[in-house]
Chains A and B, each alone.
Chain A
Amino acid sequence: MSIAIQNVCKRFGSFLALDDVSLVIEPGELVALLGPSGSGKTTLLRIIAGLDFADRGHVMVDDENAATRDMRERSIGFVFQHYALFRHMTVFENVAFGLRVKSRRERPSRKAIEKKVQELLALIQLEQFAKRYPHQLSGGQRQRVALARALAIEPRVLLLDEPFGALDAKVRKDLRRWLRNLHDEIHLTSVFVTHDQEEALEVADRVVVFNQGKIQQVGTPKDVYDRPATPFVYGFLGHANRFDSEISDGYANIGTTRLALAKADGRPQANGVAYVRPHDIEVSMGAKPNATKATVEHVATLGAVVRIELISEPRGSPLDVHLTREEFEHLRIEKGSVVWLTPKRARIFAGSDKHLTALYDVERANSRSGSEAEAAFDGMSDHG
């Protein structure tokens, strides 16, 4: 079922939790609400669920105003961060709860309830735990019971609040994959809240990035990672190097590197900020035209990626570069080496620090041969 969120505002005292948020969630989608704590994502989830109410704007579930409908008819599955299992009920009773409280007219027979609960326990692979109490289960098992309990009422929408937040890393990874598979099987419109960007990018069909009560960007995981709409999104999703940059006459200057923008935006002079991913920087040992000189400060050779910390000239600002092991071994970099850096891809935001508006993608075509960067203009867009 589709969910349409229209101009929702929510204030707690003087704190603006949601600032005019609009969003459409398509039927069958698995959407992640991603953002730092206090960014408004959980508040939005609770408003969709009907646990909180918007000060302005409304939430439509299947073209019906959610707030005006009785909770019994709304049929929303909600999984709480700390599971909120009924502590005095067995696993079986927990899962059966939503069926048992139905009005006599709609309530399935005792046999039907039992069958349904058994099916759900099979789905979460906890059949033999039916008689246990929540405190006798591990965190991951509790989380699955909470999910089965939410699914028992055959909800039209499934909402999950930080579903894996309280679990350890290994269990979290397993459950994440399990949820993804479950979603592929039952295609229930699902929204989950997370502050873990890896989780959002890995599980969701679409990611909604929140900051300070506003939606920063909505897009597929690839979209938001490769083409962040705002400096915040760039910094929040993955590592990023941030450089001050000047835009003049169709060029962006980052230190001593000059990148050509495919189209000028009509502003001959502007200040800006350039963002470059650590793995989008080409390193060479010899001096190159249009490259920035830097000194290696620290090398960490852990895992598949070699992380290098450098100090760039002339301003002495620190930056990170990630190389594959082969690249690293080929270059023979060590602490104190002097290297030349050229960005392969960069994203440039023009304007002052608070109001970065226009943005450009700079991508060097076949980076090894080209000495001059080739730039693609991404168009003007307004991002507050």
Chain B
Amino acid sequence: MASAALNPASPLPKRRGLHFDARQIVPLLLTATALAWIGIILVMPLAAVLVEALRAGIGAYFRAIADPEALAALRLTALATVLSVPANLLFGLCAAWSIAKFDFRGKSVLISLIEVPFSVSPVVTGLSYVLLFGASGWFGPWLVSHGVRIIFAVPAIVLVTIFVTVPFIARELIPLMQAQGREEEEAAHLLGAAGLQIFWRVTLPNIRWGLLYGVILCSARAMGEFGAVSVVSGHIRGVTTTLPLYVEILYNDYNSVAAFACASLLALLALVTLMIKAVLERGLLKEMV
């Protein structure tokens, strides 16, 4: 009996009636769970934002967005993003280039340091900048005597935004450039290409997708940063409020239609970056091979 059951040649006994094939049911179950989870955790709140924003009609929605203070907040957010992304682009490229293409002491320390903003709470970041540049901070007296204002002004907002977005581009490029090695650059060098020619013709084309991907992630983070900016901003309406801060101010004023309208703007920006990211990922995949 036992030997017959173990014999693969003998047909399996057929079961009658309803039966489920586990190979079909398990993936279905997993997919359904994941979708439900995403629906509850991600989609529902986003939908709620839109619904709340449009509660008083489309006219009120656009009035809220067109408010001078809202536009000022949008401008400040754009400014912080536009300044911090190129800064980190430059830094990320330099860091990734040196880490991937050269050997030097303290390389692993540099790699770890780049990731610090990921693990440090943004509030701590904000406070540390206040400690450095605030009126009673290390450089405070000097800055005051020279009439330079950093904390509770735009410079601090830009600085902390740069700080929290430091890792995004560098972290995208380091593994990519390490995997690609340095031989192509060496080959270009031996073929007579000068340093800049090597960068434009060989290095940059090889990392362009990874670079764009990092820029997108960096922009998304820069636009959405709240904690660190909140500490150093001083919340001066129309002057030092970024879009996320402005949303909070409106919400605290019980102006929920305007708050959700501005929040939906942030959400929309995030969705757009997400879509660009999805497109870029395909290109990035090609680059890795």
Contact = CB atoms under 8 A, between A and B. Distances in A.
B192 A51 contact: no
Interface of A: 49-51, 71-72, 75-78, 80, 82, 84-88, 97-98, 101-102, 135, 149-150, 152-153
Given A71-B192, A101-B191, A149-B191, 14 more contacts: A49-B190, A51-B186, A71-B189, A71-B190, A72-B194, A75-B192, A76-B190, A78-B190, A80-B187, A82-B183, A85-B187, A86-B184, A101-B194, A149-B187
Contacts of A50: 190
B256 interface: no
A101 B183 contact: no
Interface in B204-244: 205-206
B202 interface: yes
Given A80-B186, A101-B197, A87 B206 contact: yes
Contact of B193 (A80, A84, A88, A101): A101
Contacts of B183: 80, 82, 84
18 contacts: A51-B186, A51-B189, A71-B189, A72-B194, A75-B192, A77-B190, A78-B186, A78-B187, A78-B190, A80-B183, A85-B184, A86-B187, A86-B201, A97-B188, A97-B193, A97-B201, A101-B194, A149-B187
A88 B194 CA distance: 19
A97 B191 contact: yes
B6 interface: no
For the complex of A and B, list the 6 residue pairs with the smallest distance between their C-beta atoms, beginning with the closest.
A84-B183, A98-B191, A101-B193, A84-B187, A88-B205, A72-B192
B34 interface: no
- How many interface residues does chain B have, given as a range? 10 to 19
A374 B202 CA distance: 64
B191 to A, nearest CB: 4
A163 B190 CA distance: 17
A216 B205 CA distance: 44
A78 B194 CA distance: 16
Interface string B28-41: 00000000000000
A251 to B, nearest CB: 56
A102 B186 CA distance: 16
Contacts of B206: 87-88
Contact of A102 (B188, B190, B192, B205): B192
Contact of B202 (A72, A86, A135, A150): A86
